[in-house]
Structure 1
Amino acid sequence: MPGPRWSRGGRTLSARLLVGHIGVLLLAGLIGFFLWARAARGELDDQYEQRALAIAEAAASSPQIRSALATGQPAAVQSLAQDIARSTGASYVVVMDRNGVRYSHPTPELIGRPVEEPVVALDGRQHMGIDLGSLGRSANGKAPVFGPGGSVIGEVSAGVVETEIASKAGDELTSLAIYLAVAIAVGVGAATLLTRQLKRQTFGLELDEIAALLQEREATLHGIREGVVAIDPRGRFSLVNDQAHHLLGTTPGDLGRAVADVLPDGDLRELLTGGGEATDQLVLRDGRFLVASRMRVTHGGRDLGSVVTLRDRTELEGALRELDEVRSLTDALRAQQHEFSNRMHVMSGLLEMRRYHEAIGYATEIEGATSGLAAELESTIENPRVVALLVAKMTVARERGVAMAVDTASRVVLDDVAADAVVSILGNLIDNAIDAVTGSVTSKEVPAVSVRLAQGSRELVIDVVDTGPGIPAGMGGSIFTGGWSTKTAAEGRARGIGLALVRQLVDQLGGAVEVREGKGARFRVSIPCVPAGARP
């Protein structure tokens, strides 16, 4: 695991997210606390104003206070107002006449002195509000005092000072503060868990590093000539670069889709969706030779899927196969040269011995043997390409000490287009058979390969049988998989292509391939008669 990474500002992404979450929670909490405190304070002011008005109305309806104001005798009003204030919990109860002269006051020195503000209750209605009087800020209620005739003869002002309201508000705000603190603590815990989860999902990378990795990935993946495919744990395409789209025949719209829904059943789909790892496995895809490698990807104990790389070996394998054909032709020419040299030595000896009639007879015999094989094949196979292939393979087999026989059980008629597929199928099967019997038989056995072609009204049947070690039991279904071979891999050369190509050609022609397991391999290819001009 890489060590801790730091952002340009000195903080990791998770730390910045955590600080941001905490800042948002604190800001939201403070704003909510302020708004709630303001609303609670306004509600408390309303409640205490209503309470002060009720106290003022009760005092204004007192007979003693009404009588004192009517007669102008304030002596008993102070003690009565103080009793009312103590019994109701009011901070003060002030009684005054129409002219604003105080009959009672918490400060005795102010009794008999007029108030600074006008007497508002002279209109005969109750009044509430916040009073900024001599005792400080208070919730105040004012009620008129009516005389015997129903006229307003004075006013009672009752109030609760700020300290009591603030004490009540403080109790409620303390409960709110505790609630907000708990909510913020829970939010911080949740934010910490979220940032840790995000850190795990981003593997500890910072935003600028993620952006740089994305740019590097895009430049790298779409710039290389190898195909790169990433498959998630559920078997879906998660990444496909341009070269892989070209090789697989997929489109960018296939990202996120299951591999089984995009690719047909076959070796390539099994490779992409299989478990474990695979190295340099050969697969065929639409006539292309692909070398694929699969690697499982895990991080922190988590399965992230697999990455498959695809290398297009079509041109290289085509060049190597052409080189093999040239080598086969060279071997055939070398074998013919040896035979021709030997025959020329015989002819030269006969001529030196002046046995001219025997020389002429020997030349006639050579000419008949040489042309007889090709003439025999041409009499039953009406395609020079197939005949030329069989003659060349028989010459190579003879040079390598292998007895090769060709049996044409019926007339075979192929046009040049259909013959191309037949030549590829025959060439691969015969080459494999010759390789299998060369050096694999005992001194008592003669290495032999037999080829049989039979064409009916509906299908062409090709049989290739050899006397080699054969196909191991249980491997009949695996030998047509790309990369399967009994031969040692050559330097820079993939093995196991021939039989895979045979199966692909036969499948494209709508035919079938059968193989016999055990000693002495036998391959039977059955393909429908190819219409003229059809190209597999």
Structure 2
Amino acid sequence: MLQAIKNSSLFVKLVILVSLALCPPILFSHLAESYFISKYGYEEAEKTVTNVARLSAESSTVIEGMRSSKPEGRKQMVDFVEMLTHVSNVKFIVLIDMQGIRVYHPEAWKIGGHIMGGDEGDSLKGRTYISSARGSFGFSLRAFRPIYDEQGKQLGAVAVGIMSKDIEANVSRLSGPLSWLLVLSLGIGIVLAVMLSRTIKKILFGLEPHQIARMLEERNAILRTVREGIIAVNKDGTLVLVNEMAEKILRSAGVTGPLEGQPVQKTIPATRLDAIIESGKPEYDMEQNINGCIIMTNRAPISVQGKIIGAVATFRDMTEVRAQAERLTGLSNYAEALRSRSHEYLNKLHVISGLLRNRRYEELDAYLERIIGSKKRETSSITALVKDPIMAGFLESKYSRAHELGVTLHIEGTGALPPLSAKGAHALVTIVGNLIDNAFDAVTYAGEKRITLHIESDFAPAGDKGQLILWVADTGRGIAEEHQEKIFSKGFSTKGSNRGIGLYMLLLTLDEVDGSVEIDSRLGHGSIFTVRIPATTLVEGENP
């Protein structure tokens, strides 16, 4: 039986458990009511026999009949007692003399005989009491009371009785409806158990406990493996979920103490999850500062059946986001550089091929001389200023891109940029690449398309002091003064939609290498971007 219940569905278990929970109080209530009804029935019977016994013993008619031997007196006594028996609904009234001999009995043939039961002795000694005994009618509840004349002489006693079976029958009539009420209560309880079980199953979307347990394990596994921090709050703003990555990020940001069960505004300042719950509108790709740690976060309300019950936020440390963005930017720059080189050499190979087919050897000689000479000049100017191979190759690609666009790119400077760390080279490619690409866009519609890259290297041999200063100047139309404070903001651009990322990434990269940037621009006079970077952040550090 127990095994069958154990293997049954959640619905069956709930019905059984709720029914078992309801049955004991219902049964206990029924037993208590039955007990009090039975007690009430016997108490009422005791009151009845006591009152009838008192009325009989104190009746002048009974006293006169007990004292007189005249037939008239006895007849009046008998008539009175029979009337009293009838109206009081007692089974019998028996009158006895001082020897226990019946003076009156409902059954005339028993008059003159000794009263049965053996409980009459104390009444002949002047006591009033109630007892239970088996008399001539059977087992009964009997009240005894002495009978006195006017002078206080005891003439005998009266015994008034109600049959025990009659009392029990009266109790049964009173408690009978309770049995039906018990059955009805149990039926209602079972119906309520079924309804409650169905409601609980509906709330649990019809899932069984093992399915819920499996889903919980799967959820926990997912929360452990995702690289984003995830926190969730209820409608009161209390943290109800913090995954391992969220705790790691928050701890690194200086958040201490317990997390789950705490008010989110007190634990994680400026999270705005309370505003999300109030407005019901999500927020995506928002930056948030937690004790100086910048995170990129998405926030959204949690709705169940159309009602907002809380909010959830996912976030990542901006250090990782920046690193990924820089990798993508670097790869984009490298790919663009390779494409430019490939396109440039392909064009030149086409020219050489054409000259060879037409056997125009003298013009081919002159063309090769110009290419080699130009290449030597470009390479020599870059080699003199830049000793880092990655940066040197990158600048050569920008020369090729400038030729494609019909832009004059001039690279100059003082000192020499030494070999950089992998991190430093990657950062400098991002910074210079974005500045030059921005300059290419600026001179697109200019009359004179000229860009100058100036590099001043002041590096100590050990790389522990000095700085790199570089500026990129263009002959474009310049930047309006009201736009100069906004151009480094994410998504801001005067060139149309889906732009405004390059200078934003440049600023993020400068933050990583402790660098700075200044703008000098006027409308109609071009722009100059000046960058300063400490030497140590470029020549030292691990690979990104």
Give the alignment of 1:5-154 within 5 angstroms: 9-13=7-11, 16-70=13-67, 75-76=74-75, 77-118=77-118, 119-120=120-121, 121-146=123-148, 150=152, 152-154=154-156
2:160 to 145, 154, 158: 158
Tell me if the contact between 1:297 and 1:303 (Cα under 8 Å) persists in the aligned partners.
yes
Letter in 1 for 2:40: E
* CA offsets 1:190-223 (integer angstroms, 9 cap, x no match): 766654553343222222322232233334x256
Tell me if the contact between 2:474 and 2:528 (Cα under 8 Å) persists in the aligned partners.
no
Separation in 2, partners of 1:521, 1:133: 132
Letter in 2 for 1:24: A
SS in 2 for 1:156: strand
Give the alignment of 1:163-182 within 5 angstroms: 165-166=167-168, 169=171, 173=175
Separation in 2, partners of 1:519, 1:129: 126
Label 1:52 to 1:384 Cα distance change in 2 as closer, same or farther (>3 A): same
Separation in 2, partners of 1:61, 1:405: 141
Separation in 1, partners of 2:269, 2:493: 21
Tell me if the contact between 2:391 and 2:425 (Cα under 8 Å) persists in the aligned partners.
no
Label 1:126 to 1:273 Cα distance change in 2 as closer, same or farther (>3 A): closer
Label 1:52 to 1:368 Cα distance change in 2 as closer, same or farther (>3 A): closer
Letter in 1 for 2:128: Q
Label 1:71 to 1:531 Cα distance change in 2 as closer, same or farther (>3 A): farther
SS in 2 for 1:115: coil
Alpha-carbon distance, 1:531 to partner: 10
* CA offsets 1:35-94 (integer angstroms, 9 cap, x no match): 122123213312321231122122123344345445677954443321222343433211
Alpha-carbon distance, 1:102 to partner: 1.8
Q: State TM-score, norm by structure 1.
A: 0.63
Tell me if the contact between 2:144 and 2:159 (Cα under 8 Å) persists in the aligned partners.
yes
Tell me if the contact between 1:102 and 1:111 (Cα under 8 Å) persists in the aligned partners.
yes
Tell me if the contact between 2:229 and 2:249 (Cα under 8 Å) persists in the aligned partners.
no
Q: State TM-score, norm by structure 2.
A: 0.62
How many pairs align?
500
SS in 2 for 1:157: strand
Separation in 2, partners of 1:83, 1:192: 59
After superposition, the CA RMSD in angstroms is 6.6
| Residue in 1 that maps onto 2:408 | 403
* CA offsets 1:151-185 (integer angstroms, 9 cap, x no match): 54422111234566456545654676788788778
Alpha-carbon distance, 1:127 to partner: 0.8
Letter in 2 for 1:45: Y
Label 1:187 to 1:230 Cα distance change in 2 as closer, same or farther (>3 A): farther
Separation in 2, partners of 1:93, 1:386: 128
Give the alignment of 1:455-466 within 5 angstroms: none
2:506 to 499, 502, 509: 502
Label 1:328 to 1:368 Cα distance change in 2 as closer, same or farther (>3 A): same
* CA offsets 1:437-466 (integer angstroms, 9 cap, x no match): 6xx936x755544567999xxx99987566
Alpha-carbon distance, 1:256 to partner: 5.1
| Residue in 2 that maps onto 1:207 | 209
| Residue in 1 that maps onto 2:358 | none
Label 1:463 to 1:371 Cα distance change in 2 as closer, same or farther (>3 A): closer
Alpha-carbon distance, 1:133 to partner: 3.6
Tell me if the contact between 1:49 and 1:159 (Cα under 8 Å) persists in the aligned partners.
no
Letter in 1 for 2:115: V
Tell me if the contact between 2:277 and 2:308 (Cα under 8 Å) persists in the aligned partners.
no
Label 1:305 to 1:68 Cα distance change in 2 as closer, same or farther (>3 A): closer
Label 1:392 to 1:19 Cα distance change in 2 as closer, same or farther (>3 A): same
Tell me if the contact between 1:295 and 1:307 (Cα under 8 Å) persists in the aligned partners.
yes
| Residue in 1 that maps onto 2:353 | none
Separation in 1, partners of 2:417, 2:300: 49
Letter in 2 for 1:36: E
Tell me if the contact between 1:199 and 1:205 (Cα under 8 Å) persists in the aligned partners.
yes
Q: Does 1:426 align with 2:431?
A: yes
Label 1:201 to 1:103 Cα distance change in 2 as closer, same or farther (>3 A): same
SS in 2 for 1:254: coil
Separation in 2, partners of 1:267, 1:520: 44
Tell me if the contact between 1:389 and 1:427 (Cα under 8 Å) persists in the aligned partners.
no
Tell me if the contact between 2:517 and 2:530 (Cα under 8 Å) persists in the aligned partners.
yes
| Residue in 2 that maps onto 1:346 | none
Give the alignment of 1:355-366 within 5 angstroms: none
Tell me if the contact between 2:276 and 2:300 (Cα under 8 Å) persists in the aligned partners.
no
* CA offsets 1:248-288 (integer angstroms, 9 cap, x no match): 65889434557666667699999999977899x79899999
Separation in 2, partners of 1:488, 1:192: 60
| Residue in 1 that maps onto 2:230 | 229
Label 1:215 to 1:330 Cα distance change in 2 as closer, same or farther (>3 A): closer
SS in 1 for 2:103: coil
Label 1:282 to 1:133 Cα distance change in 2 as closer, same or farther (>3 A): same
Letter in 1 for 2:438: A
- Which structure 2 residue ranges, 5 or more long, are not aligned? 350-361, 458-466
Tell me if the contact between 1:126 and 1:144 (Cα under 8 Å) persists in the aligned partners.
yes
Q: Percent identity?
A: 18
Give the alignment of 1:525-536 within 5 angstroms: none
Separation in 2, partners of 1:517, 1:269: 45
SS in 2 for 1:199: helix
Tell me if the contact between 1:484 and 1:496 (Cα under 8 Å) persists in the aligned partners.
yes
Separation in 1, partners of 2:141, 2:262: 72
| Residue in 2 that maps onto 1:3 | none
Label 1:411 to 1:142 Cα distance change in 2 as closer, same or farther (>3 A): farther
Tell me if the contact between 2:516 and 2:533 (Cα under 8 Å) persists in the aligned partners.
no
Separation in 1, partners of 2:391, 2:238: 49
Alpha-carbon distance, 1:30 to partner: 2.4
Separation in 2, partners of 1:212, 1:60: 84
Tell me if the contact between 2:436 and 2:472 (Cα under 8 Å) persists in the aligned partners.
no
Tell me if the contact between 2:514 and 2:534 (Cα under 8 Å) persists in the aligned partners.
no
Alpha-carbon distance, 1:97 to partner: 2.2
Tell me if the contact between 2:127 and 2:145 (Cα under 8 Å) persists in the aligned partners.
yes
Separation in 2, partners of 1:525, 1:100: 135
Letter in 1 for 2:225: I
1:441 to 431, 439, 444: 444
Q: Does 1:254 align with 2:259?
A: yes
